Structure 1
Amino acid sequence: MVRRFKPAVKYRRGSRTHGWGRVGQHRKSGSSGGKGMVGFHKHKWSFVMVHAEETSGWPFYGKHGFKQPKEISIQWRPINVGKLDDLVEELEREGVAVKEGEKYVVDLLKLGYNKLLGGGSVKRALIVYTATASEAAVKKISAAGGEVRIVQGVIHR
């Protein structure tokens, strides 16, 4: 590929202004229209429109995102129904789960979980106490002959 220009910097070594005219032109923020993001809503607007995503002005303007305060945010500790089904006999031996007839009763809140998810398969009939549960989890447990009981007003953080 043919070079159209000489390497500018090397060519201009020792010239003080490097082709930018009299004293201090092209040096400080005055020649660029202000420091940093100054002027992006005025004289640098064309730059914003060229480089902003989908010409909305983002990421140059407006507040972006939301950081939820820790006091109101919930830290989910989920467990899948498949894993619960595998662990239920061990939980009964430890005294955490109770067997009532053919059904196992498990309180997930005592185990430190606050959400029941529908991953895996359920072979045993379970009665599960939890703060929240997904639709898939409720369907799988009720199909196996058990039920999910939602404990209202309790979300463990």
Structure 2
Amino acid sequence: MVRRFKPAIKYRRGTRTHGWGRVGQHRKSGSSGGKGMVGFHKHKWSFVMVHAEETSGWPFYGKHGFKQPKQISVEWRPINVGRLEELVEEMESRGAAVKEGGRYVVDLLKLGYNKLLGGGEVSRPLVVYTPVATRAAVEKIAKAGGEVRIVHGVIHR
């Protein structure tokens, strides 16, 4: 059967301090050196060094990482070369892509994309204007007879 009180508690009933010495000890947060994370860089530093990972103080003490300012952070809007090839005829009918000399010319910035990725396959020649492209995307488009032209100065990095 579960006991409501430990035997020591029952034994100490009426002793006022329950074995914690002078009156006021073991009350509230003063006996522990402060509430919560207080004192971790002063009188509780040994606790930080014992329980922190690799004794660096983390995660108890210090700042962790940073938040990049919005004006310099880039919100990537990528598209794969395979998806681009699927959409190219539809884009030509809308006027978003132009056919010049047997090759489709596509400006990804006008379409709302800012990065070209190398997923999928390309069979027709494309000329793609984009701020950023992966090596795989450039190789696949070149293999199909097209080219990737990088637009500089659009994305701050």
Normalised-by-shorter TM-score class: 0.7 to 0.9
The superposition leaves residues 37-83 of structure 1 with CA deviations (integer Å, 9 ceiling, x where unpaired) of: 33323332221122101111112232210101111111111101110
* Counterpart residue type for residue 116 of structure 1: L
2:119 is aligned with 1:114:
no
Q: 2:30 is paired with a residue of what secondary structure?
A: coil
- Opposite residue 46 of structure 2, the aligned amino acid is S
Partner of 1:141: 141
The residue number in structure 1 matching 2:34 is 34
8 Å Cα contact 2:9-2:18 kept in structure 1: no
Over 3 Å counting, the alpha-carbon distance change for 1:127 and 1:9 in structure 2 is farther
Structure 1: 5+ residue runs without aligned partners? 1-5
Post-superposition offset of 1:155: 3.0
* Structure 1 residues 125 and 12: CA distance shift in structure 2, 3 A: farther
Q: Distance in 1 between matches of 2:135 and 2:10?
A: 72
Q: Per the alignment, do residues 21 and 149 of structure 1 end up closer, same or farther by CA in structure 2, a change over 3 Å counting?
A: same
Structure 2 partner of 1:65: 65
1:46 aligns with 2:46: yes
Number of positions where the alignment pairs a residue of Structure 1 with one of Structure 2 = 152
Q: What does residue 152 of structure 1 align with?
A: 152
Q: CA deviation at 1:18?
A: 4.0
How far did 1:151 drift? 1.0
Identity %, equivalent residues: 78
Q: Secondary structure at the match of 1:75?
A: coil
The RMSD of aligned alpha carbons is: 2.5
Quick one: structure 1 residues 10 and 94, their matched pair in 2 at CA, closer, same or farther if it must change by over 3 Å? farther
Matched residue, 1:85: 85
TM-score of the superposition, structure 2-length normalised? 0.84
Distance 1:9-1:153 versus aligned 2 partners, 3 A rule: farther
Shift of 1:136: 1.0
Distance 1:70 1:57 in 2: 29
